[in-house]
Amino acid sequence: MKKKYFKPNPNDPAPLTATATRLVRFEEVDPLGIVWHGRYPSYFEDARVRLFEKFDIAYLTLYGKGLVTPIKQLYVDYLLPLRFEDEVTIEALMHFSEAARINIEYIIRNAAGEVATTGYSVQMMMDRNDNMLITAPPFYQDFIEKWRNGGLA
């Protein structure tokens, strides 16, 4: 049974998704030959960057609009080990939220298509002076409205 990281609301639009693929590098494995647990956040980031670029909310785009989005929470469930030279697919699913935050779920699959790792991140929105935003800035509210109306599929 798949764990639900974010409580779904039936009125919300479907998550936005993007996928990244990569090979496990030698420097990412531990002496047992499996990916060291601390490497998984960078795998998540591969897919998160792809997602943000796909929907024109890349980090530098946000920064240019005065917004930074640091990670507030990060959670990982390790299900199957990944090994050196495994080809992995990392899927990022951005869940709808009207709050000044970004909720992303991750699914890492091995070459056989088996789910090896899942997790999530929550990013808060801050201005460039490190002030946490209570509401999303207008350009991001426009993005949310476009998403809600089906304009980002």
Look at residue 50 and tell me if it is in a domain.
Answer: yes
Look at residue 132 and tell me if it is in a domain.
Answer: yes
Count how many domains the chain has. 1
Look at residue 88 and tell me if it is in a domain.
Answer: yes
pLDDT of residue 144: 96
Confidence of residue 1 (pLDDT cuts 50, 70, 90): very low
Does residue 123 contact residue 69 with C-beta atoms inside 8 Å?
yes
Contacts of 69 (CB under 8 A, 6+ apart): 59, 62, 102, 123, 124, 125, 126
Supply 133's token pair. 């935003």
Look at residue 111 and tell me if it is in a domain.
Answer: yes
pLDDT of residue 8: 83
Look at residue 130 and tell me if it is in a domain.
Answer: yes
CATH label of the domain that carries residue 74: 3.10.129.10
Look at residue 101 and tell me if it is in a domain.
Answer: yes
Look at residue 145 and tell me if it is in a domain.
Answer: no
Look at residue 87 and tell me if it is in a domain.
Answer: yes
pTM over 0.85: yes
Q: Which domain holds residue 33?
A: 16-140
* Averaged pLDDT, 135-150: 95
